[in-house]
Amino acid sequence: MREKINLKDLQFNETEALMAELEEPKFRAKQIFAWLYKGAENFAQMKNVPHSLAEKLEERGCHTGALKPVKVQVSKLDGTRKYLFELDDGNTIESVFMKYKYGNTICISLQAGCRMGCRFCASTMEGLQRNLSPGEMSEQLLAAERDTGETINHIVIMGTGEPFDNYENLSAFLRIINDKNGRNLSMRNITVSTCGIVPAIRKFAEDFPQVNLAISLHAPDNETRSEMMPVNRKYPMDRLIEACRSYTARTSRRITFEYTLVKGVNDSRSHAEKLADLLRGMLCHVNLIPLNKVEETGLDTTGRKDAEAFCSVLEKRGIPATIRRELGDDIDGACGQLRLRRKK
């Protein structure tokens, strides 16, 4: 039996090649590609695609890869929507739709599960199940648009998984979602967050200099960071910061450092001072995130007052920092929690 083809896994030129294989004119690729990123769920919704071509596509095992959420949590406070999607093979993934002043944003997952083992994270508790395909990445945005009826113009890749652990599919996705024949979403409106895979940071700066980079830092020194994030044992802080400096030199883009505040672990004044030393002179911004409590980790969140004190140490030392506005406070906020709850 021939393998099924998720049309959203294909680049535009691969869609053209598929039309050639089906003995269809080239312009059909343009029509199909455009429909896919307008959110068409099936071939019948592709108004200018003839029935005969739809039949050929079905015979060839092609599908649109449309996903329907199996669960949606909606925040009554700010309209944040958290989705749980079930993939073809039964794996589940999460995405979050958020409304910001600058536009609607979707936070997407790149893997089902994660093998990075960060101590504070619910997504890694059952390890990595598998990488997502480019089409499964795009579809998280499109399914959220169908559900909300709103346009999403920003993507943050901060959901489940380490993006650079799925580099090839991430690259394909970025090229597809940016393609002018389809979604044409600006690379500048996309942010990729990594836990610090150093060689990939260097490669990413060369491959995608217009995409924003965020680093999940979460600690100012090797001892604390290795305790929280096993990746730090392989790529310690000095190598990570050096890669960040060369990223900025190559791209002239400001890096966001994500710093989750965990009570009694990384949130003292001396941690803040060390962080200010570490980032001195860098083109960066620190995003302080009070921990979203996950029962299973046994870790607690830093109170608002202590978070503000931490932030003001950084600001006084000239490091731009903000405490993240908590969106969707009334729903399961932490990444990976919906997935985990469903399995119980």
Minimum Å gap between C-beta 205 and ligand SF4 is 19
Query: What residues contact 295, with CB distance under 8 A and at least 6 apart?
Result: none
Q: Which of 94, 136, 145, 162 binds ligand SF4 (CB under 6 A)?
A: 162
Contacts of 111 (CB under 8 A, 6+ apart): 128, 129, 130, 131, 132, 160, 161, 162, 165, 166
Residue 340 interacts with ligand SF4 (CB under 6 A): yes or no? no
Contact of 204 with 246, CB cutoff 8 Å? no
Figure out which of the listed residues 135, 161, 220, 328 binds ligand SF4, where binding follows CB under 6 A.
161
**Rule CB under 6 A: is residue 201 a binding residue for ligand SF4?**
no
123 binds ligand SF4 (CB under 6 A): yes
Q: Which range touches ligand SF4 (CB under 6 A), out of 27-35, 94-102, 113-121, 235-243?
A: 113-121
Active-site pick, 94, 139, 162, 258: 94
Residue span 251-290 as binding mask against ligand SF4, x where in contact by CB under 6 A, dash where not: ----------------------------------------
CA distance 183 to 178: 6
Write down the least CB distance from residue 106 to ligand SF4, Å: 16
Distance CA 110, CA 134 (A): 9
Listed in sequence order, the DSSP H helices in the chain are: 12-21, 27-38, 51-59, 134-148, 167-178, 198-207, 222-228, 231-234, 237-251, 269-279, 304-316, 337-343
Instruction: Tell me how far, at minimum, the Cβ of 73 lies from ligand SF4, in Å.
Output: 19
> Does the active-site annotation cover 223?
no
160: contact with ligand SF4 by CB under 6 A? yes
Residue 110 touching ligand SF4 (CB under 6 A):
no
Token readout for 5 is: 């083809």
116 binds ligand SF4 (CB under 6 A): yes
Q: What letters, b where the CB count within 10 A reaches 16 and e where it falls short, cover 302-322?
A: beeebbeebbebbeeeebebe
Choice from 110, 112, 114, 331 touching ligand SF4 (CB under 6 A): 114
205 touches 250 (CB < 8 A): yes
DSSP assigned state of 93: E
Question: Closest CB to ligand SF4 among 66 and 114?
Answer: 114
Q: Of the listed pieces 28-36, 47-55, 154-162, 320-328, which binds ligand SF4 according to CB under 6 A?
A: 154-162
State the number of binding residues for ligand SF4 (CB under 6 A): 12
The answer to whether residue 80 forms part of the interface with ligand SF4 (CB under 6 A) is no
CB 123, min distance to ligand SF4, A: 4
The one-letter amino acid code at 219 reads: A
The distance of closest approach from Cβ of residue 293 to ligand SF4 in the complex, given in angstroms and rounded to an integer, is 15
Nearest CA to 162 among 135, 207, 198, 188? Answer: 198
Active site residue 94: yes
Give the catalytic positions in this structure.
Answer: 94, 335
Instruction: Write out the residues near ligand SF4 by the rule CB under 6 A.
Output: 114, 116-118, 121, 123-124, 160-162, 195, 216
